[in-house]
Structure 1
């Protein structure tokens, strides 16, 4: 319909113009008002909110900017009388730009095209249009396909009649939908040039496998068992909960972002819905309001929602709540946990809950809801109705037939598993005088749609069952369900679970593992029994224990890169224990000789994270981003990722914004520094992929959200990692080197001397790229980072030379 209405609008405009008494005499402002505005909005279907006028650029003001998230095209308007000399043969609709502006009579067109090209270069925008209302010239004012803009081609329309004659091409290339679909590129571009392949493409068996020695392998296995698996063992579960539980809600003292940003994310999103949440924990333990709500929720027939991000410890909070914090509330209750973790398989979340509750009642509480006596008692009134019915008359005529019909009747009742369980639960509550509490847990490990279905099931269970229902959700899932989902009419009670302090959690885990080891701990694993009587593991854990008490640099690295996810923080530690990139023999020997003396240097821990099990850094598997990645062969783009991240950080400092800024502002700012719209989009997608920025609702990519803000991971990566030799030494294999003369110096390197020389060459390469970039040094500046990197490389050079 837009195409048809646009064509009709063009015909109407052409008829109006042919009869206009002002034709040929309008100044630029009148031309824009009478013709160009109409062409953009009515003919090309551009919404008014996507058209901005008189936007300031480095060397003037643009007449029109056509926008989506950022500017995607610039239109330069001239007065109607400034006629262009255009070829009348427009069968192809295109012609060479140099030939077009080479004609001396086309001085006004040449001037206009050069002017809009300057705007395009400073804005990072490719599609450009020059028009006097009746004549239109469209071209690519900035390119990344190896063709200079003036060596390219232009779409030319000498008149409104020519536009009508070639309206399909005109509309496809310049309309709202057409420009967003980048149709003009297929008409005028020779193809986008990709950056050259990085060093990794020349490495044999990249990313490789880092082999471990026997000690490293054993430490890796036992470390995972002790720190991650053992808390799941029934033998140790109560002890673990008593000794290892770290109260949630304490703010990180190591975060690279402000305290306001740490506390405001959930509240900011919730406030938009006009809702409030209460903390699940207070300084002295569980929130008394939560305990009270647990007692009254069944009567109110609404679920209790426990909100918390991925890995903050929602499952541990529930276990601690039931067994420790609120034990008086739950000690006589029938508490059932339905685990929706990734290991569970089901076709329907509601049916899975029913099956798991039935199993738990039987296995843990010896309540068989299918027992004949239980069923007879449960359906007594239904049986009385059966006896009064037609089939009930068989009782005195044919007792065997009566019994068979009666059995079939009861079988039909219990065949509706959900309703049978509901009635059974209600009966248990009344006859046993025990509260039934149902926890729907690990829902956040499922996709958004499944979480919505579980939330809906929780509301239905709470509404019709005499049970207290808890459901754990990610904040964004709950808010999205409330805003758009099927549960928007429900108003459950909401409690927020904040992550505990990373240092406290890690310290308690290691202390617990050491305590079990000292007692000759034995763990049942899937492969059988595993006795963890390991002197090396105990020594290594003691090294961790000491460092988790006093190594602030190490704790800051783990805390920030985990970003509040305790599961991820723990995996970082188990990755370090027994890593092939760590000299475990050296660490164990130092601890044997001088207990408590080994101070884990940050570069040692960082290497284990960056490489993982690989020989080389691989961005597909590493949790650490390559901040020098580019998507096109332009050296200045090596700085796009840190510049984007620094801008989000600096603009998000306002306390009333919860750290969020408009994503469109990021596009405008970076386009204003000359970065192409597509390059900015690449940067935001890359930052979101590595969790360096986040949207208010993280189920959705921050690059496509309206707002975004920096994360702890992003701030730490920007401020701490980039200037480190260890970081640059790792990511350099993944950086496309645009300058061919530098590539031979960015080669495979194994020995420390070779790697230091390569890092120096990489630093100089980036220094030169910045010097020619023309980028503003008022914000994030590579020269300052380069100086810091140089000092770090220098320190290592001194240590290696003195060691040799």
Structure 2
């Protein structure tokens, strides 16, 4: 049986059973230790006598030193745990002094603690067959009773949290990763147990209805706020953006780090940017040179960031602006892998099949028998000499063998591609094959793509061009897949985001203004609705042009050059129930406020914010239950922000050095790594090799436009703090309970359209959250011995929010139609 099957069986057999001490030990603990946690039997000593007392289990390391002592109790010995908001969780961290208030737990803990002290062992556990309490005996930082114990409440924990259990008390984790030392009773901080308000808010996933015009706007978005179809020349000519921000002051800030360009890592590898003109700039020139000089058997790489527009660039280059040299001297083919097969064998076959379909423009493979035989003329001449020599061409056997020959060769996709390649060479045309969307595949399948591209280049003596994201290149390079690639690649920078959306808006306005049947085409009911939408879209366009507009700021900064993400954000903004089009449309000079942009972008269709479902992360979130801080994220962003203007390093700093500093100064190595991992994934920071997950391969990092935007404009903003307060794990159970109640009340006020009461409730909650953060930060300063040179973020937050609250109340008091505001 597998480990999970054993656990399932164990749970069914003993969940309700009453077990004596021996049964508990032999039937449950033994099974868990040996079969699940993989402790070798020779490292487990049972019933060890210590000064006349008997320890049930002593688990030892390879040198026979005790690592943890376990005391088993009868199942009927009930361990009563203190109830809290986290009681429904399968495990908790509860301070030992709280646990000692139960007599049965106290007796067992003190008993096993004495055994552990006699054996000079620093970890102990008690178990009654269901509940496990694991704790630390000594700490230099706090009295042992003040330390948090790790409490497993039920056998179900081991099945539902299998990986966590293995990584905590599994043999390998304890012996090689020192998991007990790093997870049990370790904290310099006063607080230990974490409470998440959102986990206790029943209606936390309550949806928000779309706005009145969502139907029409969704129809418009589906047509014009997605990928540009390769066959739509008018759409491509009207909306493609060649401006990559190289000379656009709005694309850069004073520190110059917003422009999506090559990192030093890729520059050192010989890659280069190119201007995106109608001929494809240096990229197009290089292709033309290779074709003219017939330096084929070559693989080139075109790469750019996520959503940088690589696919759109390739489609435009191939089908709309193809340079005359390439058109005259080559035949191009496009292989897109967006929905490719997910196994190695099928993927390679699919690439070759798509290649065939792309280059066989004359449909030779489906031609007449004579045409197919002409295609395989060399092979057929050999076949006639060997197999048909004694047969007359009128014989049935002759025709049967010819049919077999044709059938066999038509099944050989690679051979057909070679033959068609030769046909193009007879016409003085070289094959240029583009392989697109390769980075949508997992790493092992990307390797197949690289190898297949190389095989295509060799067999067909052609130029193969692979498009991919930067981080995918770094990952493949680290695996050695690209060792044979010698041609330096080209980097496509992202276009200016606001220019992309402005062009789309202009195109939409042109379409809806000059379409006769707007109802069937765009679901726009009448002229009145059309005028409202036109007015609103013009407001959006005006706000995007203004560099200080919150809408322009958000889309330019928060997307970090990701056109696809920017369009998705904008679509969500257009249709969100938070976007009050009727209020805005009558005022051409309407200026979006921060909250009118942030809420639709962060939670377009939900009432409450949840980091797991948002592109915008929660900077104040606790990311582990051992040594996490609300301020780790802010400290990381502050450090990187201050380094961003360094011209020598281009804003990059050594990631390992940063982690070391956080370990020494804040005792938060794991917390720092967890934040870096999320921030790389979300795009708040970037690695010099553009990897999107933290690993040993990440050497240098810097803050991105998104990270700068969130740190400078959101982290201390009322709307942002209001949104993340329910999502944030907190160390205060009383505040947690207050927030849960506040959420229910706010939802009720929302449906009752009690706008002002709701505003006051949210202000009260934000103030309580800031007071809590201030208390936690002050305690951290004391626990960690931080001096006055350290930034006090809660004080900065409080000062900023106090000013904003006055504006919020003034704005709310002056509005005539306040019921829709802040919804």
TM-score (norm 2): 0.70
| Matching residue of 2:680 | 688
| Matching residue of 2:498 | 503
1:280 aligned residue (266, 274, 282)? 274
1:459 aligned residue (454, 476, 487)? 454
**1:218·1:578 contact (CA, 8 Å) conserved in 2?**
no
- C-alpha distance in 2, partners of 1:348/1:532? 45
SS of residue in 1 equivalent to 2:266: helix
- C-alpha distance in 1, partners of 2:219/2:773? 41
- C-alpha distance in 2, partners of 1:142/1:522? 75
Offset at 1:700? Answer: 5.0
- C-alpha distance in 2, partners of 1:743/1:500? 44
- C-alpha distance in 2, partners of 1:284/1:226? 22
- C-alpha distance in 2, partners of 1:631/1:573? 29
- C-alpha distance in 1, partners of 2:179/2:473? 36
SS of residue in 2 equivalent to 1:630: coil
Distance 1:708 1:265, change over 3 A: farther
- C-alpha distance in 2, partners of 1:758/1:663? 36
**1:342·1:446 contact (CA, 8 Å) conserved in 2?**
no
Distance 1:699 1:501, change over 3 A: same
Distance 1:555 1:344, change over 3 A: farther
Offset at 1:560? Answer: 1.1
Offset at 1:608? Answer: 0.5
- C-alpha distance in 2, partners of 1:502/1:177? 50
- Tell me, yes or no, if structure 1 residue 796 matches structure 2 residue 808: yes
- 1:213-244 CA distances to partner (integer Å, 9 max, x unpaired)? 54234323423332226x3273x334423443
Alignment of 1:78-477 (within 5 A): 93-94=119-120, 139-142=138-141, 147-148=145-146, 178=175, 180-184=177-181, 195-228=193-226, 231-232=228-229, 234=231, 236-248=232-244, 250=246, 253-254=249-250, 261-262=257-258, 266-271=262-267, 274-281=268-275, 286-288=280-282, 290-294=284-288, 296-297=290-291, 299-332=295-328, 333-342=330-339, 348-361=346-359, 365-371=361-367, 372-395=369-392, 399-430=395-426, 432-477=427-472
Moved more, 530-539 or 775-784: 530-539
Distance 1:478 1:330, change over 3 A: same
Distance 1:707 1:177, change over 3 A: farther
**1:250·1:499 contact (CA, 8 Å) conserved in 2?**
no
**1:139·1:188 contact (CA, 8 Å) conserved in 2?**
no
- Tell me, yes or no, if structure 1 residue 561 matches structure 2 residue 582: no
- C-alpha distance in 1, partners of 2:808/2:363? 67
1:485 aligned residue (480, 488, 499)? 480
**2:304·2:491 contact (CA, 8 Å) conserved in 1?**
yes
1:757 aligned residue (764, 772, 778)? 764
SS of residue in 2 equivalent to 1:303: strand
| Matching residue of 1:63 | none
SS of residue in 2 equivalent to 1:737: coil
- C-alpha distance in 2, partners of 1:709/1:486? 27
Instruction: Provide the aligned C-alpha RMSD in A.
Output: 4.0
Question: Please, which runs of 5 or more residues in structure 1 have no aligned partner?
Answer: 1-41, 45-86, 98-126, 129-137, 153-171, 591-595
Moved more, 211-220 or 440-449: 211-220
**1:211·1:580 contact (CA, 8 Å) conserved in 2?**
yes
- C-alpha distance in 1, partners of 2:183/2:548? 54
Moved more, 502-511 or 286-295: 286-295
- 1:690-737 CA distances to partner (integer Å, 9 max, x unpaired)? 322233344452365343322221121111101111101111111233
Offset at 1:604? Answer: 0.6
Distance 1:453 1:194, change over 3 A: farther
2:658 aligned residue (666, 683, 701)? 666
Distance 1:270 1:223, change over 3 A: closer
Moved more, 606-615 or 213-222: 213-222
- Tell me, yes or no, if structure 1 residue 781 matches structure 2 residue 797: no
**1:244·1:509 contact (CA, 8 Å) conserved in 2?**
no
- C-alpha distance in 2, partners of 1:513/1:770? 50
**1:252·1:502 contact (CA, 8 Å) conserved in 2?**
no
Distance 1:522 1:467, change over 3 A: farther
SS of residue in 1 equivalent to 2:725: helix
**2:149·2:184 contact (CA, 8 Å) conserved in 1?**
no
- C-alpha distance in 2, partners of 1:565/1:386? 55
**1:336·1:438 contact (CA, 8 Å) conserved in 2?**
yes
- C-alpha distance in 2, partners of 1:633/1:717? 25
- C-alpha distance in 1, partners of 2:580/2:461? 58
Alignment of 1:728-743 (within 5 A): 728-743=721-736
